[in-house]
Amino acid sequence: MGFETFKPLTGEEKEKTKSRIISDANLIEGGAEIRDDGSIEVTKNQIKDAKQEMESEQGHYLEQASVNGIDFSVGWDNGYRDYTIYFPQIEIGEKAYEQNVPDQVIRISENREKAKKVFDFIKQEAQQEGDVYKLYKKAENFIHNLWEDDEE
């Protein structure tokens, strides 16, 4: 298998990548383990602590789940100043490129209720869909429809 050529990252994409790397490093420093497949397995205490910290200090919603083998979280992203959904098991590379999945993160909205709707939707969809790339696309479509509702 040869190397794939991808287009250079934009400034915003570089910042997202940097933020994700720092976030992953902080998780590992806090006790998370790197799985054989390269994904990160956080401890229950890290999830609980992060949720309490986010809700108490900033008042932001944070929820994480692992359903049908797919890990995902919805929470506030200080870089975007919006809620995002994060799929840590998405590997950016050939498979993601072929599936038209550009990132592990999708920007949702600054609205807490919309973030909760996205989390609940993906939690339900993940029970039937075991492919993280397909789940990402479902999340992307659902979020797009939420934005369209705002425009009406």
Q: How many angstroms separate the CA atoms of 60 and 43, rounded?
A: 21
Q: Give domain status of residue 109, yes or no.
A: yes
Q: Which string of b and e fits 58-93 if b means at least 16 CB within 10 Å?
A: eebbbbbeebeebbbbbbbbeebeebbbbbbbbeee
Strand locations in 19-90 (E): 33-34, 40-41, 62-67, 70-77, 82-86
Which whole-number Å values give the CA distances from 45 to 18, 20, 67, 72, 93, in the listed order? 25, 20, 18, 16, 31
In the chain, where does DSSP find H-type helix? 11-29, 44-53, 94-98, 112-126, 132-151
Candidates 98, 121, 108, 99; CA nearest to 150 is 108
> Which pLDDT score is estimated for 131?
94
- As for how many domains the chain has, the answer is 1
pLDDT tens per residue, the chain (152 residues)? 555 666 777 877 777 777 777 777 777 777 777 777 777 776 666 665 665 555 544 568 889 999 999 999 999 888 888 999 999 999 988 888 999 999 999 999 999 999 999 999 999 999 999 999 999 999 999 999 987 766 55
**What is the per-residue pLDDT across 89-105, written as a single tens digit (0 to 9) for each?**
999 888 889 999 999 99
Domain ranges, residue 30:
11-151
Crossing angle of helices 132-151/112-126, nearest 10°? 150
* Tokens 């250079």 -> residue: 8
Q: Give domain status of residue 2, yes or no.
A: no
User: Looking at the DSSP assignment, which residues form a beta bridge with residue 76?
Assistant: 83
Q: Give domain status of residue 16, yes or no.
A: yes
Q: Give domain status of residue 3, yes or no.
A: no
**What is the per-residue pLDDT across 50-65, written as a single tens digit (0 to 9) for each?**
655 555 445 688 899 9
Q: Give domain status of residue 147, yes or no.
A: yes
> Which pLDDT score is estimated for 31?
76
Q: Give domain status of residue 58, yes or no.
A: yes
